[in-house]
């Protein structure tokens, strides 16, 4: 039976990955949750406060320990047998309910903090977030725009120490959308979650007190219209743009281009 978790309308899960409560991220988190709670039911996962263990390990694979096999598949078997650890089960319940997922973090070494990567490793579990069955109607697995967590949207709130030019399309540090492609496409879209445009706080390390107030106001304004904001979806695997014999975008689509935007619709 394919996995499917219909979300509860008007519900949200806000995941924070920052160790300091009085940081810029801490202020944005509290202000954002308060603003979103005005017309949403908001659950939170402050990963550092929870002491969330980011390491996918033997205890995640069920009993008996030490079984041979693919780690993801073993974790999926543990899920189907009801052997998921309590801290992961709690995240499953919040994520299954949420119609909107907010992931908030500082950009560290051009990616997410380890604790958030580990949250993805342990929470987007095989047989919970996706499955390996072939969809008979399309002949491909239920992934990349399909799976257990469709009908959900994600807002990524990321603070960065650099300015818009440095993290722009020709910037020294690389385009931020491309840097976060492993998150927006490789993790979220893989399980069917559509990402909204990034919410980026630039020059986060040097913001003045007035700048912090400005960024809090900007986030609140963004959240006011979040329910009507359009997503920029990627191409779905089941739509045939990636022939199974090529495992790549069809050569007739955007020929000659190799940038990551080729995987977007339109």
pLDDT of residue 109: 96
Mean pLDDT to the nearest integer, 210-238 = 95
What is the spatial distance between Cα 108 and Cα 180, in angstroms, rounded to a whole number?
A: 11
Q: At what angle do helices 24-36 and 209-224 cross, to 10 degrees?
A: 30
What is the spatial distance between Cα 44 and Cα 104, in angstroms, rounded to a whole number?
A: 11
Secondary structure (3-state) at 237: helix
Taken in order of first residue, the domains within the chain and their CATH numbers are 11-263 (3.40.50.360)
pLDDT of residue 245: 81
* 2 pLDDT tier (thresholds 50, 70, 90): low
Which range among 84-93, 140-149, 173-182 shows the weakest confidence by mean pLDDT? 140-149
Q: What is the pLDDT of residues 113-151, one digit of tens each?
A: 999 999 999 999 999 999 888 888 778 888 999 989 999
In the block, residue with structure tokens 């903090």: 113
Secondary structure (3-state) at 144: coil
Q: Does residue 153 register a pLDDT over 80?
A: yes
Burial of 191 (0-12, 13-18, 19+ CB in 10 A): buried
Extract the tokens encoding 60.
């995640």
User: Running DSSP on this structure, what letter comes out for residue 204?
Assistant: G
- Residue 205: CB atoms within 10 A of its CB come to 10
Q: Does residue 1 register a pLDDT over 60?
A: no
pLDDT of residue 141: 87
pLDDT of residue 240: 92
- Residue 262: CB atoms within 10 A of its CB come to 16
What is the spatial distance between Cα 160 and Cα 105, in angstroms, rounded to a whole number?
A: 9
The torsion of the CA quartet 133, 134, 136, 142, rounded to 10 degrees, works out to 90
Q: Quick one: which of 57, 111, 127, 65 has its CA closest to 87?
A: 57
Mean pLDDT to the nearest integer, 55-73 = 92
């Amino acid at each position: 039976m394919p996995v499917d978790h219909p979300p509860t309308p008007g519900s949200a899960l806000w995941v924070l990955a920052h160790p300091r409560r009085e940081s810029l991220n801490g202020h944005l988190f509290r202000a954002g949750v308060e603003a979103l709670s005005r017309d949403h039911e908001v659950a939170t996962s402050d990963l550092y406060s929870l002491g969330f263990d980011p390491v996918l390990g033997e205890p995640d694979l069920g009993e008996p320990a030490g079984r041979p096999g693919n780690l993801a598949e073993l974790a999926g078997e543990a899920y189907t047998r009801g052997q998921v650890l309590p801290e992961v089960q709690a995240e499953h319940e919040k994520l299954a309910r949420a119609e909107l997922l907010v992931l908030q973090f500082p950009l560290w070494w051009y990616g997410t903090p380890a604790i958030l990567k580990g949250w993805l490793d342990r929470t987007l579990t095989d047989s919970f977030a996706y499955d390996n069955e072939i969809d008979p109607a399309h002949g491909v697995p239920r992934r990349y725009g399909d799976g257990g967590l469709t009908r959900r949207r994600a807002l990524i709130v990321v603070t960065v120490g650099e300015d818009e030019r440095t993290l722009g399309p020709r910037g020294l540090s690389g385009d931020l959308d491309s840097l976060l492609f492993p998150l927006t496409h490789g993790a979220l879209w893989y399980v069917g979650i559509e990402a909204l445009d990034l919410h980026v706080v630039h020059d986060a390390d040097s913001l003045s007190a007035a700048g912090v107030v400005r960024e809090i106001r900007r986030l609140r304004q963004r959240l006011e219209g979040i329910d009507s904001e359009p997503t920029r979806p990627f191409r779905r695997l089941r739509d045939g743009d990636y022939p199974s014999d090529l495992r790549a975008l069809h050569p007739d689509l955007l020929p000659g281009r190799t940038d990551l935007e080729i995987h977007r619709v339109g």
